Amino acid sequence: MSFSERVLSIEESGIRAIFNLVVRSKDIINLSIGEPDLDTPSYIKDAAKEALDQGFTHYAPTKGYPDLLEAIAQKLKKDNGVDIDPEHEVMVTVGGTQAIFLALTALLREGEEVIIPSPAFVQYFAATKLAGGVPIEVRLNEDYTINPDSIRRAITKRSKLVILNSPSNPTGAVSGREKIEEAVSVAVEHGLMVISDEVYEKFIYEGQHFSPASIPEFKKHVLTVNSLSKAYAMTGWRIGYVAAPPEVIEQMAKVQMYSSACIPSFIQKAAVKALQLKESFFEDVLREYKRRRDSLCSILSESPHLAFSKPSGAFYLFPRIRGINIPSKDLVMQMIKEIGVAVVPGSAFGRLGEGCIRISYANSIDKVEEGARRIVDFLEAASKRSVG
Ligand SMILES: Cc1ncc(COP(=O)(O)O)c(C=O)c1O
């Protein structure tokens, strides 16, 4: 049987591959997960149940219910300083994942290039290829923040888009206003569009989040992608959104119409409630994640085989492996087999991720600490094997 060349050009996500391997094993300490281990607040679950009882079980408008679009517009104004018209400049999507997919599908012409500071979220590469584009990986700085110069150097006649992600998956880096502003200026100067993936905006331990669409001159060049998945522990609900210029939303809505028609109606109603949660909700969550991060970093810093600086955001650490010359994929497989700890190989996040592993601390502090101790011991033994 023959298949689409675009589909054949992509592989299963390296994260999913690990997930599928460990999902059935209760004994594994799973530090590969990219989702909060906390449960969705009951206040949000109750809103969904209520919506079901009220009959929100039918098709919804393609771009989303007006009250949700209005709630998103208010959130963007309050939290991000981004001013949008809820009727024309925003739409609801199946998580941030679909927002990125729709954006690339709507914007890319065959062979156009998407500049991706890497290591980066796996979907950027695959979704670019599925949309007929060509992903171009460019280097981040040593500390994993965005490097505007490497973006500038990668620009060609075929460049169309730049994808920025701060806080970042897989590195946890928070790039900060100055670097993001400079990177967007470079893109705008060359007539490129920017996707600003802000799904981890609530997970910042030091520094501040910056949304480039808050700068009026940038607004018509920037698509702001966000999601309820990480912020509200709602990964399984599959709801996110994108704010973009009206003509971009119009084209994306067509793709939405013919791919999933709309986002489930009762979930949209629960999302309205979620967006009303007070900031204090995030403060408690953040305190807990910071505790885990600090503990993980403190244990792993004992290993001479890991090089990293403490990340300021998201819930990942992306250390470089030192003195063990095995591809990250093989190292991770050995780790799962020998010490029962699952992490993700750096190579899953692009060519520039090789030589690193991604450790998620979205797990209980006991598991994070135990997993970290086992990793330190494992690397010591593996380094001896690698030399011997
Ligand atoms: C950087 C980044 N962007 C977007 C997403 C998409 O998340 P969702 O589709 O659950 O909103 C993820 C999920 O892991 C992510 O890490």
Q: Domains, the chain, ranges and CATH?
A: 5-40+279-387 (3.90.1150.10), 42-274 (3.40.640.10)
Residues with CB under 6 A from ligand 1: 34, 95-97, 121, 165, 169, 197, 199, 227, 229, 235, 240
**Cβ 162 vs Cβ 183: under 8 Å:** yes
Distance CA 299, CA 277 (A): 34
- Distance of CA 96 from the midpoint of ligand 1 (Å): 5
**Cβ 116 vs Cβ 350: under 8 Å:** yes
Q: What would the pLDDT profile of 153-173 be if each residue is shown by its tens digit?
A: 999 999 999 999 999 999 999
Residue nearest to atom 4 of ligand 1 (CA): 96
- Distance of CA 383 from the midpoint of ligand 1 (Å): 34
Residue nearest to atom 7 of ligand 1 (CA): 96
Residue type, position 182, single letter:
E
Q: What would the pLDDT profile of 263-272 be if each residue is shown by its tens digit?
A: 999 999 999 9
Residue 271 dihedral angles phi and psi, to the nearest 5°: -65, -35
Q: Is the pLDDT of residue 36 over 80?
A: yes
- Residue 281 banded pLDDT, cuts 50, 70, 90: confident
Q: What would the pLDDT profile of 143-156 be if each residue is shown by its tens digit?
A: 999 999 999 999 99
Of the candidates 211, 232, 267, the one whose C-alpha atom is nearest the C-alpha of residue 94 is 267
Q: What would the pLDDT profile of 317-335 be if each residue is shown by its tens digit?
A: 999 999 998 999 999 999 9
- Residue 90, helix vs strand vs coil: strand
Distance CA 332, CA 217 (A): 45
Angle at 229 between CA 35 and CA 93, to 5 degrees: 140
